[in-house]
């Protein structure tokens, strides 16, 4: 049903492949627009956004590691570091 498709990044102008797997993922999530940026430019854009976001210091509820989270931790609520959060997510 889906086929790899060549797209052009609106930021850097390079060609990139919008794979059949990515297209299926977009469809499952209800996303109707094709990506406008290549994976590298998408990553840069996310990192820029994250740098502007206020981060809060916290301690991981599972492993005890110091971490930072993009929300103010609430006493009594669990907070996970990135590694533990990823492990807690149900696998598909």
Task: Give residue-wise pLDDT tens across range 67-79.
Answer: 999 899 999 999 9
pLDDT band at 92 (very low <50, low <70, confident <90, very high): low
Whether the per-residue pLDDT at 14 is higher than 90: the answer is: yes
CB 61 within 8 A of CB 68: no
Q: How many Å apart are CA 51 and CA 62, to the nearest integer?
A: 25
Closest to 4 (Cα-Cα) out of 16, 14, 82: 16
Tokens found for residue 68: 């930072």
**At 25, which helix (H) or strand (E)?**
helix 20-28
Condensed to tens digits (0 to 9), the pLDDT of residues 25-62 reads 999 999 999 999 999 999 999 888 766 778 899 999 99
**Structure letter (DSSP) for residue 56:** E
> Using CA atoms, how far apart are residues 79 and 74, in angstroms rounded to an integer?
9
**How many angstroms separate the CA atoms of 67 and 78, rounded?**
13
Q: What's the whole-model pTM score?
A: 0.52
């Amino acid at each position: 049903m889906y086929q790899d498709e060549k797209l052009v990044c609106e930021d850097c102008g390079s060609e990139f492949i919008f794979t059949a797997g990515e297209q299926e993922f977009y469809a499952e999530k209800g996303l109707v627009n094709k990506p406008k940026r290549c994976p590298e430019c998408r990553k840069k854009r996310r990192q820029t956004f994250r740098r502007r976001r206020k981060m809060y210091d916290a301690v991981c509820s599972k492993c005890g590691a110091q971490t930072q989270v993009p929300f103010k931790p609430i006493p009594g609520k669990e907070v996970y570091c990135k590694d533990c959060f990823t492990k807690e997510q149900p696998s598909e």
